[in-house]
Copies of this chain bind each other. A is one copy, B any other.
Amino acid sequence: METAVGVLGGGQLGAMLVEAANQYRIKINVLDAENSPAKQVSGHGTHVNGSFKDAKAIKKLVDTGVKVLTVEIEHVDTTILEELASSGEVDVQPSPSTIRTIQDKYVQKKHLEDRGVASAKSYKLETPTVEELQKAGEALGLPFMLKSRREAYDGRGNYPVRSADDFKSALDALGGNKDLYAEQWANFRMELAVMVVKTKDDVLSFPTTETIHENSICKLTYTPARGVSVAISKKAQELARKAVACFEGKGVFGVEMFLLEDDSLLVNEIAPRPHNSGHYTIEGCYISQYEAHLSAILDMPLRQEDLMLRQPAIMLNILGGDAEDSHTKIAEAALTDRWLKVHLYGKGTARKGRKMGHITVCAPTMAEAQRRMQPMIDLVDKDKPKQSNGVSKDDLAESPLVAIVMGSDSDLPKLKDGLEILRKLEIPYVTRVTSAHRTPSLMAEVASGIADTTVQCVVAAAGGAAHLPGMFAAYTPLPVIGVPIKPSIGEGMDSVLSILNMPKGVPVATVSLNNSTNAALLAARILGAGDSGIRQRVIRYMEDSETAVRQKDQLLQRIGAEKYLEGMK
């Protein structure tokens, strides 16, 4: 309890920061209203009641013996922070100038743009007038997003301007605010987020998360991001680290990004603190964003490897609903599956859309995490008009565990039985045609990248010279199952031996001719080695298959061989 950390703000982010500090018995003094969430999980008496925007209160917090001062919200008084930091009274992390730059979204965007970080183009409105909006439209094109420069979050302070007809209503909506700017419209196909940790020496990143917003409020996060190649995931982390490297000071930063239709990335917004899109790290990673933030500001050791994902994770926000207790009902419903970890924030009255808590689920596979979270999403969406929020039962297919590759589409009919087995065992798969001989570079590209997707096992079918399984195995560290396909000429021993007789060093798991059934079952057993749900389904398949044979034996005993043979015609 030697080092005391001061935190401006005691909401849920502050509370989770305190919980992380409690493990190490690091003392945190919180400045916020009495009984704010962060104070509820801390028993000592040296918190300060007051506003994190009030210079006097901030001074009072520092006077409690704080060594490092940090924030859980960026809308604080940076002038006093700068004074305190420059006078050496207290170490402020991240640095006050960083907080000030990020506070003003327009300045934030310019800061990034000037440093070559890809982000949406912005236009500053000198005055909140139709004329200025006209100019913004000329500079950025239409539609664009009209935004408040400060104090805007969860969609508040944003207004989409689709045409010149919207100019007046946009100004009416964001009315009183004189600090407005316009932002170029981003036609994104997905939103991604990366939590970045800036330590005294390094800029590190947590995995790439997919975020799903509804009414401009974060609803769900998926980590790893579904249906995103590793190349894009890496690019997102690089961009996020590059963006955070532009700022001074230490701590975690939430970087929200747009993934555009052409697979390019733009930074949307940066938060100089723990972030909603990083809640999943508490259960999903070996270290949470909160521990990482403490580690960064207190110079505790941290390496990139520490930020690894433990298991695929989904986070669902619990928002205030129509009724006062809508959110507690969701929390109670989550108790029917205790893999769902409920976090309630103790925030008192629930306004509609207010973040009252969240639920995280981790599982050995994204498919299982989705199966477990789906009832909660259904419950949240119960009274809502159906809309595509990227989450439906079909999404199970977005995180394939098995890739079925074939050299020619003519092999597909021979793989039908295997595909049926995978569906029966609820194993998501993806099918690809890549020929080792006719599309060697495509094959190399697919095979090289496959281990960086959610796929854990490859089934490759080929006939005749049958190079595909072995060539795939040469490019990937994943287990490859080879299915020899009987060619139109000959018995098929060519296919079998081409797949079987691999040189030492590059293994292929060979099954018998045309036996896609066994290839699929083998894939299921391989996945089941590490996933108890799949293993249980393999066991049930084995039991069913035993029962089927026993029944045939009983029938044979009862009716005799002659009658049985008649029935077989």
Contact = CB atoms under 8 A, between A and B. Distances in A.
Interface of A: 1, 19, 22-25, 35, 39-44, 286-287, 291, 295, 300-303, 306, 308, 310-311, 331, 335-339, 341-346, 362, 364, 417, 451, 456-457, 477-481, 496, 500-502, 504-512, 515, 517-519, 521-522, 525-532, 535, 538-539, 542, 545
A335 B301 contact: yes
Contacts of A24: 331, 342, 344
Contacts of A336: 301
Residue from the set A302, A477, A527, A528 with the largest chain B CB neighbour count within 10 Å: A477
A529 B287 contact: no
Given A311-B310, A510-B510, A344 B500 contact: no
Contact of A530 (B417, B505, B531): B531
Given A346-B25, A479-B525, A479-B526, A511 B518 contact: no
A92 B506 CA distance: 63
Contact of A23 (B342, B362, B510, B515): B342
A529 B532 contact: no
Which are the 3 A-B pairs with shortest beta-carbon distances? Answer: A530-B530, A509-B509, A507-B518
B529 A344 contact: no
Nearest to A39: B43
B504 A515 contact: yes
Contacts of A535: 451, 477
A364 B532 CA distance: 13
Residue from the set A336, A364, A525 with the largest chain B CB neighbour count within 10 Å: A525
A457 B522 CA distance: 11
A169 to B, nearest CB: 40
A324 to B, nearest CB: 13
Given A338-B291, A500-B510, A511-B510, A456 B23 contact: no
Given A41-B43, A43-B41, A500 B527 contact: no
Contacts of A40: 22, 25, 42-44
A227 to B, nearest CB: 19
Given A344-B24, A457-B529, A530-B530, A511 B500 contact: yes
A481 to B, nearest CB: 7
A108 B362 CA distance: 40
A538 B496 contact: no
A510 B507 contact: no
B506 A509 contact: no
A542 B529 CA distance: 23
Residue from the set A335, A364, A502, A529 with the largest chain B CB neighbour count within 10 Å: A529
B529 A502 contact: no
A532 B307 CA distance: 13
B518 A505 contact: yes
A502 B477 contact: no
A281 B505 CA distance: 40
A30 to B, nearest CB: 9
B291 A528 contact: no
